[in-house]
Structure 1
Amino acid sequence: MDVWGLARKPLLGVPPPNYGLVGRWIGHMARGRFRHDSIAASAPVRGESVIGWAFHYLIGIAFAALLLGIWGNAWVQQPTIGPALTVGISTLVAPFLLMQPGMGAGIAASRTPNPTSARLQSLITHAVFGLGLYASGQAVNLFDVV
């Protein structure tokens, strides 16, 4: 997913995600503020970039655990793309209904300048995450890690 985030700029002219803004949003939660009109216009939070990147990976790990929780060790022993893509694309619920509204972008990026483009980028990114889950399952199986 991170490689895709970097590749979007040269391929599509879309900048990589700014996880510092996610960190800012999470940092404000510790102060009791969960919703912003514009997270970019909200006061910076000390360490927001580190907070954002840490939560990005923790959330990814939690979603990977969801895949294993639903499909179990049998999926790891014989990974298939369907469950991985199902989990990857299903994770769109989080940004569409929690993050984007909380950060001021509206439900499913409805308050952004180009909601359709933002939604498509989110869909592609989460599908790429699903492909990464599948590739990880293949790697674990190939190298007999489990």
Structure 2
Amino acid sequence: MLDVVWRAVAIGIGATVLMDLWAILLNKAFGQARPNWAPVGRWVWHLREGKVFHDDIGQAAPCRHELALGWAFHYLVGIVYGIILVVLAGSGWLAAPTFLPALVLGIVTVGAGWFLLAPGMGAGWAASKRPNPMQIRALNLVSHTVFALGLYGTALLIR
């Protein structure tokens, strides 16, 4: 059992690292802004008060170490998704990983960003209040596909 848990955790971390490397590549190659995890940390901090949705997270009271909290939350979510993948695909998937379960989970997880995080931070459903919502949505889909590749690739590496 412990073997399955550590593998699921490692798969989530590996996928999150690949997603972060993808963001660095987009930044270096195309000047795409890298994710800023400080507002996410601020959002997480305000969850303890029961405040899920903000008109503008930038106007919410800042908290100490919000950048570190945002990064920690980012990796915690990746770990949870790794665990969910192993639970849904079954521990047998760890011995013979296939890409389809990872891809399905990767695409489904876009929904958490579109329908919880974005409106929670004041960006609207699926970034609808941003000036470039279609570009953001496309980048989200691609990033979560890269995350899926990370889930699958990490599973292959540690099988």
In structure 2, the partner of 1:20 is 38
Q: Give matches, 1:112-123, under 5 Å.
A: 112-123=130-141
- Unpaired runs of 5+ residues, structure 1, are 142-146
Task: Choose 80-89 or 95-104, whichever is displaced more.
Answer: 80-89
Separation (CA, whole Å) in 2 of partners of 1:20 and 1:88: 23
2:83 is the counterpart of 1:65 = yes
The two structures have a TM-score, normalised by structure 2, of 0.85
- Return the match for 1:33 from 46, 51, 71: 51
Q: Residues 81-140 of structure 1, C-alpha deviation per residue, up to 9 Å, x if partnerless?
A: 111111111101100000000000000010001000000111111111100000111001
The two structures have a TM-score, normalised by structure 1, of 0.92
- Unpaired runs of 5+ residues, structure 2, are 1-18
Question: AA paired with 1:129?
Answer: F
- Return the match for 2:103 from 78, 85, 95: 85
2:147 is the counterpart of 1:129 = yes
Which aligned segments of 4 or more residues in structure 1 are displaced greater than 3 angstroms? none
Separation (CA, whole Å) in 2 of partners of 1:70 and 1:34: 28
**How many residue pairs get matched?**
141
Separation (CA, whole Å) in 1 of partners of 2:101 and 2:68: 31
Identity of aligned residues (%): 44
Separation (CA, whole Å) in 2 of partners of 1:30 and 1:8: 33
SS of equivalent residue, structure 1 residue 17: coil
- Return the match for 1:5 from 23, 34, 48: 23
In structure 2, the partner of 1:111 is 129
In structure 2, the partner of 1:53 is 71
